[in-house]
Structure 1
Amino acid sequence: MGWALVVLVCATAPLIGRLILMVDKDVGLRLVDVRGVLADVSVAALSLALVGGLVSVRRFWARIAALVVLLALVIVSFAMFEFVSLFDSLYALSHSGYLADSTFLGGSVRHLQHPILFVVMIVGAVIAVALAQTPAGRGWWSGLGVVFAASVLGQVVLPISHEHDEWRQRHALQANLSVLRVSTASSTARTLSGDVREVFRSDLDGERWVGPLDGRPNVILVMIEAASGVYLPSIAAAASVQSDTTMRKLDALAKDHILFTHVVAHQRQTNRGEYAVLCGDYPKLVTDQSKMTEQVYGNARRCLPSLFKDAGYVTAYIQSAPLGFMLKDQFMQKAGFDELIGDPWFRKSYARTDWGVDDKAFFEQALPRILELHRAEQPFFATLLTVGTHHPYTFPESVARGGVSSREARAFSWADEAVDEFLAQLKQDGVLRDTVVIVTSDESAGTSQASNPSERLLSQSWSFALVMLPEVEVKRIDALHGHVDLALSVADLLGMEAHAKTFIGRSMFRRYDTPRRLFGGNTYARKVIMWEPTGGAVYCDEGFRACTRAVSKGPFGPVTDVETPSARTRMLVEEVARLTRSGRPDMTGSPRMALLSEERVRVPAEDGKKLILGGQYLRVPAGTVVRVDFDLEVLGDPTATVDLHQDVFMDGYLVFERKGIRLDGGDRWRLSYSFGAPAASDHLVVQLYARTIAGQATELRFHQSSLSMTRETVRSKEPTIIRDVIEGP
């Protein structure tokens, strides 16, 4: 009986975790899963042979060694299950270093998803080894050899597929063999786990060079859309790089304050960059549904606005773009902002696009609200995001070219003037006497004047940070920092660091003895990048099949040479990229998600076609039915008429469209439909546009705007209209 129990434990330890994962994630059985089962069988057979050999020795130490082997199989198999559940990637031996971390122990190890099953397997392993007798007969060993050989042969016949997750095709022990080989050959004594742990920790070990500030100063955070450090002429000149796009006034202002010249923008796209800045966490470094989107329908991470709110600050988020785009109306509320101001709030403009008003009009109209916040009794934290430097670039066509021809350069020149005037007005009105101002970007557009592709790629992660303190300090910091550092840095500057332990990175207001690695991604180029402490950078494609080391004079160039990095370096980049994935499940296990939090939206006639919502970029698993529901009515002037256009795209392809829907004042439109997703999609976008075609303006009242996903058998992706009704007043 004892040996039969050993066989049962060896067989079920890896297979039961795989079965639970497939059920939990609702993945359909594919050929790759057969390969995964064969991988489990080969590991189980090898473990069984090792346990059997040790039991045959008939010594106490051998029996203990057999127990260690069996327990290791159970623990590693469950670790693989737990890790895949969280991160969708295989557990690696490098993660065992986290067992020495009290935070990890308290936050992860004590919260197993199936603790009873784990305990049963552990107890079963102990009893099995205690009762096990030597397996009798040569035939038993021959049979085990045949099983092992057949499972290995099956894995050779069924090659690894890069189209499916690795956990479905391999066992964690197999995935770690390459790590073990590299670690053995490496001359360094540091383990991969130590390197990884450094990336994700909150590091306040440096020596302060400023702060904590007295009192409770206000904080204004300004993010200039897509601005790059290379746009500040003094930074570009010092780095020996060029850019036709410049922000000369901001550069001149920086000479009188604190300027961080080399700041990594960790991803392209605003929702990824803003997340890193506000939440002190890496965005996903590979192309995937953004963490900002996931926090809308899941549990939200504690972000900087929440820290300020808990400290008694009033918090406000101001942007000129529609708040419904990228679900910011909901994310920013979860992040801790009390007040959200978006596109409808800005009536005046020198130029306007679907993204909103130009940057000068934005700052001019945001200023009165900032002054109101400043006059109030409570301190405030305000975040402002511009949009005029986003394609198609918003500025009056009458703006002088100033020697530049590109629309991008002219847009940044207009933004440069706008932010300079805004900051000057804040100073004139006395706001800067008790306010910290930070000017940075959400992402970086980089420079098109790079001398080679490597340099161009790196420039697209190059941001900066200008910091203005109530008691003016002049300093230029050339050390490499990242947007991920900003939340921790602001908390540290204001003496709130004890409440900022969830933020990772280093404080920009401390000196550190040693440099560190920083990481970034470029979802447009499909690259993952690591900046090395010794200088230069390593970048890999998102499949991590090809990596390149850029040898450069600075973090972002100029690049003088390229070479192939070591296998260990490639694995480190891949490991960090995988750990930046939140592991949050898709929406199929979540309640219905609102597409818009605003109940009423004003649509002025002069705005033309107005984007009400869009840019969700949701992940849709294969075998999912998506349902969309709208219920809206037109308020206000009964003679007003609005033209509505609603559509859905998956991976760039039109799935559903209703256009030319005209509603008069008092009319109500109810629209519900569903469609299937036979194949997985990474980019589901639901959009609604409105245009007032009669009257001065219309106001839309949303009774419902929601989306849900359910797992069902999907045979077609053709949409099914559930309801499409227009009712009069």
Structure 2
Amino acid sequence: MRVTCNWLRHPSSTLLTLGLLVIALPLLSRYALGWSHPYGYLSDLAIGSLLLVTLHQRSWLLSIPLLLVWCIFNLSTAELVNAVGRMPGPADLQYLGDAQFVSHSTQGSGLSQPWLALALALNLAAYLALRSWPAVRRAATFKRTWLLLPLSLFAVHVVCQQLKPSEADQWLQFNLPHKLLAESSNSAQQQLADWLDGDEPSSPPDIRGLSQLDLNGNPLLKQAGSARNVLIITLEGVTGAYLQASRQAIGSSYMQDPMPRLSQWAERGMLTYDYVLHSHQTIRGLYAMLCGDYSKLDSGTPKGLELLNNKARSEQCLPAQLRERGLSTHFLQGAGLRFMAKDQIMPQMGFDKTHGRDWFKNKPYLEFPWGMDDKAYFEGALSYVQQLRKQQQPWMLTLLTVGTHQPYSAPQDYLDRHANAKLAAIAYLDDAVADFLNGLEKQGVLKDTLVIVTSDESHGLENVRLASAWGFNLLLAPEQAQLPVLKHGVYGHVDLTASVLDYFAFPVPANIAGRSLLRDYPGGREIMSYTNGLLRQHDGNGTLTECDFQQVCRRYASPGFIADSARYLGRFSGKPARLISQRAALLDQSLTGNQAEQHYQFANSQRIKLKSTVSDDWADNLVGAQYLTLAKDTQTTVTLKIRALRLDKQGARLQLKTKEYDRDVALPIPELPLLTRAKPMELSFAFDNLEARKAFSFHLLGQGQGAIEILDFSVTSKPLEAKLLATQENPEELPSP
């Protein structure tokens, strides 16, 4: 016992404990989390050795705050990557101490990596306990020359990134402090370079190659298509890597075959394998494919929401165009409609009928928080098609699945046969969609219907290049014999609207962008994508450029967009890199014309049946006001009016939450009063945005027995008056009471 105590009192014990906390534990957790990458281990060693040299036997005032932040950074990174597949950024720093930030999926289900939290806490406690021993306090500190070790490791990391850049995810190559340091350093370098280079160019960059309509290719069909109907099947999160023909076409090294039955169907249709998904999020994917326009290449307010204030542009979307030409138009998804305001956006696009989870009367095979499991969903969708075929009018139907959305939905027998829930859910979807296509064939639907199978976004694959932007387009038409099995060339969601209109030889509105999948083009084309925090541009002449979070761009020799590998050509930053960002910003230009005042109405006066309990801020949300951008120096006013349609005597308890980047943010929101049949709710409040709020969401939650009607949920943002803004920035100027 005395030997043990003497060892603990030895000065080397604190050094060992500190080393375990700042070096060994990050390296071990990286391995345990499956994040092994040489650059990541090098980053951990660089930051860990810097902390070790800096903090060993330094002042408590320095060591305790830094080590606490270090622990929070490590845990927060693991939790956020697990929840939404990205690292924290500068905008997240204010939430790092928030318990919700480190929850499994921001839904309050607890830590996904409790072992990491426990290990960090125990190591930190052990270090602080040993530091309190008198013999330890007298130990010597490191000399300043030891700082050469971490600085050398940082230099090696920078050199390796330049000589052999990696396309791996950010968290594989950096730990969070290193990433933030790299961003700050690169931003300072760019500001210096901009100052040395001089002013910005006077004219904006040319984006005509990205935004124009191009129907100059050679038609694949001799005349207009013979189909009467259009069916678009949208599979949640599916990447093109899941289809065998797509993998073979690009020579992919991905060896698994998650969707063999859909792969067999791909051999019967025309498969476009070099197919680009422009962004993440379902509503952005739906907008791009159904409105012939790029979804925003950043995290700003989705254009689908902005479409609510732009009727003229809405009338150019594919459903509106087909409705104008005599088709009845329908949208059917397996989830509820209110999330992301699809209950309003889809009708605005031109759908006559928009249905969600409440439409389905068939019993689901699984309980899934987002909605119908895929097998039950496609059985319901098949009956919907049967109803449409009984009518004389031609139709357009767009389907959207939900079972392959995190946390993934699959029966136990699928879970038993596959390595994880994600692969099991993909296999379950594969069987469901293949059975659905077989059912369509038996009904004779394929003889008179243009069928397109695609995905809204890609949930990506580890160690598969560009998987987050890799989609697919499988087209089945009555004229299949005239179409190739593999469609060569680079295409994307921006091309889908023009392709369908071109199939029918309908005129395409001037504001629709893209090419037609039903034409062959002699040359390449420009196209852009923004996924996993990387902005990518292909110039149509064999060069793909990829710009990362450090605002550093890398060029690759790549004939197409999607490729298993590409030859590295070099890197650049400064004005050339900023030019790419400017082109993306021009494509992102708001449908509302970037007006200073923005107004959104999220109420549609529909009957809403309440649940007795609320368990999920997202699935149980009663309004679709998600992922808004509230500009800097504006004031946002929210007006809410709700009445009871049928409630018991206990009434309904409502709560309004606000989130930024999917995490709770505290704002001066008044408590909502109890809603009863005798007393409707009317409420208005405002809050200021001294800094821009991005990915901002409102979550209206309600529980009770009965139903309610939301008469008004309006959000208006106006610029702050100059006088008010001045007093808020300088509160000492406020008059004395």
- Give the match for residue 459 of structure 1: 467
- Cα shift readout 1:263-309 (whole Å, capped 9, x = no counterpart): 00011111221111011111222332221122223455221111101
Q: C-alpha separation between the residues in 1 aligned to 2:670 and 2:428? A: 38
Q: C-alpha separation between the residues in 2 aligned to 1:506 and 1:606? A: 48
Q: C-alpha separation between the residues in 1 aligned to 2:305 and 2:351? A: 16
Q: CA deviation at 1:614?
A: 3.8
Matched, 1:226 2:241: no
Quickly say closer, same or farther: Cα 1:481–1:569, change in 2 above 3 A: farther
Q: How does 1:82-481 map to 2 (within 5 A)?
A: 174-176=199-201, 193=206, 196-210=207-221, 212-215=223-226, 217-238=228-249, 239-242=251-254, 244=256, 246-301=258-313, 302-347=316-361, 348-396=363-411, 398-401=412-415, 403-450=417-464, 455=465, 458-473=466-481, 475-481=485-491
- Cα shift readout 1:167-187 (whole Å, capped 9, x = no counterpart): xx99x99322899xxxxxxxx
Contact 2:414 2:428 in 1 (8 A): no
- Give the match for residue 711 of structure 2: 703
- Give the match for residue 529 of structure 1: 536
Contact 1:243 1:448 in 2 (8 A): no
Matched, 1:685 2:660: no
**What letter is aligned with 2:384?**
R
Quickly say closer, same or farther: Cα 1:640–1:547, change in 2 above 3 A: same
Quickly say closer, same or farther: Cα 1:535–1:493, change in 2 above 3 A: same
- Give the match for residue 510 of structure 2: 501
Q: C-alpha separation between the residues in 2 aligned to 1:559 and 1:395? A: 33
Quickly say closer, same or farther: Cα 1:668–1:535, change in 2 above 3 A: same
Q: C-alpha separation between the residues in 1 aligned to 2:711 and 2:401? A: 30
Contact 2:608 2:709 in 1 (8 A): yes
- Cα shift readout 1:231-258 (whole Å, capped 9, x = no counterpart): 1133224422216572211111111111
The share of aligned pairs that are identical, in percent, is 29
Q: C-alpha separation between the residues in 1 aligned to 2:568 and 2:728? A: 48
Q: CA deviation at 1:658?
A: 7.0
Given candidates 596, 601, 605, the residue that maps to 2:603 is: 596
Contact 1:520 1:530 in 2 (8 A): yes
Q: C-alpha separation between the residues in 2 aligned to 1:566 and 1:622? A: 31
**What letter is aligned with 1:574?**
S
Question: Secondary structure, in 3 states, of the residue corresponding to 1:428?
Answer: helix
Matched, 1:559 2:565: yes
Q: CA deviation at 1:479?
A: 2.1
Contact 2:604 2:711 in 1 (8 A): no
Q: C-alpha separation between the residues in 1 aligned to 2:438 and 2:376? A: 15
Question: Secondary structure, in 3 states, of the residue corresponding to 1:326?
Answer: helix
Given candidates 516, 522, 528, the residue that maps to 2:525 is: 516
Matched, 1:633 2:643: yes
Q: C-alpha separation between the residues in 2 aligned to 1:531 and 1:547? A: 12
Given candidates 482, 490, 495, the residue that maps to 2:500 is: 490
**What letter is aligned with 1:332?**
M
Contact 1:357 1:394 in 2 (8 A): no
- Cα shift readout 1:105-154 (whole Å, capped 9, x = no counterpart): xxxxxxxxxxxxxxxxxxxxxxxxxxxxxxxxxxxxxxxxxxxxxxxxxx
Contact 1:638 1:666 in 2 (8 A): no
Question: Secondary structure, in 3 states, of the residue corresponding to 2:346?
Answer: helix
Quickly say closer, same or farther: Cα 1:640–1:245, change in 2 above 3 A: farther
**What letter is aligned with 1:434?**
D
Question: Secondary structure, in 3 states, of the residue corresponding to 2:199?
Answer: helix
**What letter is aligned with 1:623?**
D
Contact 1:211 1:495 in 2 (8 A): no
Q: C-alpha separation between the residues in 1 aligned to 2:474 and 2:386? A: 21
Contact 1:289 1:618 in 2 (8 A): yes
Q: C-alpha separation between the residues in 1 aligned to 2:202 and 2:713? A: 50
Number of residue equivalences: 522
Contact 1:216 1:379 in 2 (8 A): no
Question: Secondary structure, in 3 states, of the residue corresponding to 1:323?
Answer: coil
Contact 1:618 1:682 in 2 (8 A): yes
Q: C-alpha separation between the residues in 1 aligned to 2:187 and 2:615? A: 45
Q: C-alpha separation between the residues in 2 aligned to 1:360 and 1:494? A: 32
Contact 1:645 1:689 in 2 (8 A): yes
Alpha-carbon RMSD across the aligned residues, in angstroms, is 3.3
Higher strand share: 1
**What letter is aligned with 2:321?**
L
Quickly say closer, same or farther: Cα 1:214–1:510, change in 2 above 3 A: closer
Q: Where do 5+ consecutive residues of structure 2 fail to align?
A: 1-185, 730-737
**What letter is aligned with 1:278?**
L
Contact 1:647 1:658 in 2 (8 A): no
Contact 1:436 1:470 in 2 (8 A): yes
Q: Where do 5+ consecutive residues of structure 1 fail to align?
A: 1-160, 180-191, 718-729
**What letter is aligned with 1:435?**
T
Q: Which moved more, 1:700-709 or 1:603-612?
A: 603-612
Q: CA deviation at 1:470?
A: 2.3
**What letter is aligned with 1:292?**
G
Q: How does 1:14-33 map to 2 (within 5 A)?
A: none
Contact 1:645 1:657 in 2 (8 A): no
Quickly say closer, same or farther: Cα 1:608–1:290, change in 2 above 3 A: closer
Quickly say closer, same or farther: Cα 1:178–1:564, change in 2 above 3 A: farther
- Give the match for residue 10 of structure 1: none
Question: Secondary structure, in 3 states, of the residue corresponding to 2:343?
Answer: helix
Contact 1:300 1:335 in 2 (8 A): no
Contact 2:304 2:345 in 1 (8 A): yes
Contact 1:286 1:527 in 2 (8 A): no
- Give the match for residue 131 of structure 1: none
Q: Which moved more, 1:374-383 or 1:236-245?
A: 236-245
- Cα shift readout 1:527-564 (whole Å, capped 9, x = no counterpart): 21012434452111367x41012345863332254332
Q: C-alpha separation between the residues in 2 aligned to 1:395 and 1:521? A: 30
- Cα shift readout 1:436-479 (whole Å, capped 9, x = no counterpart): 110001111221133xxxx2xx2110000111112433611232
Q: C-alpha separation between the residues in 2 aligned to 1:338 and 1:220? A: 15
**What letter is aligned with 2:211?**
F
Quickly say closer, same or farther: Cα 1:286–1:663, change in 2 above 3 A: closer
Quickly say closer, same or farther: Cα 1:439–1:177, change in 2 above 3 A: same
Q: C-alpha separation between the residues in 2 aligned to 1:206 and 1:402? A: 49
- Give the match for residue 644 of structure 1: 654
